[in-house]
Amino acid sequence: MALNIILLGPPGAGKGTQAARLVAKRGMVQMSTGDMLREAVKAETPVGQQVKAVMAAGELVSDAIVSALIGERLDQEDGKGAIFDGYPRTQAQAEALDLLLAERGRRLAYVIELEVDEAALVERIVGRFTCAQCGAGYHDSFAQPAVQGTCDICGAHEFKRRPDDNEATVRTRMAEYRAKTAPILPYYEARGLVRRVDGMADMDEVSRGIAAVLDG
Ligand code: AP5
Ligand code: MG
């Protein structure tokens, strides 16, 4: 049966990095509300116009907007299991997700918490960049392209950085995580769904930890 999982962790914990690997290895579908919102901002849709300033400030956008995006994506998805990346982020979103899944006869298999040391996260985030063409993720110190200035995946030469990846905004994003997102863990703990993986290990080790949960 297709496994639906949540990757939970603060900004820079490695949710997007590990989700991309699960997509490549297992054909699961990544559902990143951050990516969906950035696409909406880029396309200047009504939702994009509404959320642009909130995202730039590092605050959370409204529960209704993100839950609607996830509902739409669940209806398009092809059934190999969903990876929720950056969603849910509040108790209301956690409850909305349960409903969205139940309405479709699906349920959560695991909530994988990437445990990280906050002090290291600012460095991870301010050093992050992606290929402007295919979106492959890189890092100034931890994951440079094999050939400097050329994307390993598609060969493009242009890269971009997120407007919210500066130190001041990262601090706000972390405060939002502590205040609103970390408190949803007990909701899942009570159902025995939480598994913890050391997010400070190198990326391959983190992937092995996640695989051990999914295959275990
Ligand atoms: P979102 O896009 O979800 O950002 P985030 O949660 O702040 O998380 P990041 O994407 O920054 O980190 P990540 O865990 O994906 O780390 P990554 O793998 O890139 O949200 C952005 C904004 O959108 C929010 O602030 C909010 O405004 C809005 N939003 C989104 N969802 C919302 C919701 N549900 N409700 C309300 N508002 C919402 O890794 C980071 C870097 O570290 C990379 O460069 C990577 O190469 C490197 N790295 C990764 N793993 C390792 C490792 N093991 N060792 C060394 N380096 C590593
Ligand atoms: Mg991400």
Instruction: Give residues (CB < 6 A) around ligand 1.
Output: 9, 11-17, 33-34, 37, 54-55, 58-61, 66, 86-87, 89, 93, 124-125, 128, 137, 139, 142-143, 164, 173, 202-203, 206
Radius of gyration, CA atoms only, the chain: 17
pLDDT surpasses 90 at 160: yes
pTM: 0.95
In percent, the amount of the chain with pLDDT more than 90 equals 95
pLDDT surpasses 80 at 1: no
**CA 91 – CA 89 distance, rounded (Å):** 7
Among 7, 8, 15, which residue has the most ligand 1 atoms within 8 Å of its CB, making it the best to mutate?
Answer: 15
What would the pLDDT profile of 166-210 be if each residue is shown by its tens digit?
A: 999 999 999 999 999 999 999 999 999 999 999 999 999 999 999
| Predicted pLDDT at 134 | 96
Sole residue written with tokens 């990143």 = 32
**CA 207 – CA 202 distance, rounded (Å):** 9
What would the pLDDT profile of 95-129 be if each residue is shown by its tens digit?
A: 999 999 999 999 999 999 999 998 899 999 999 99
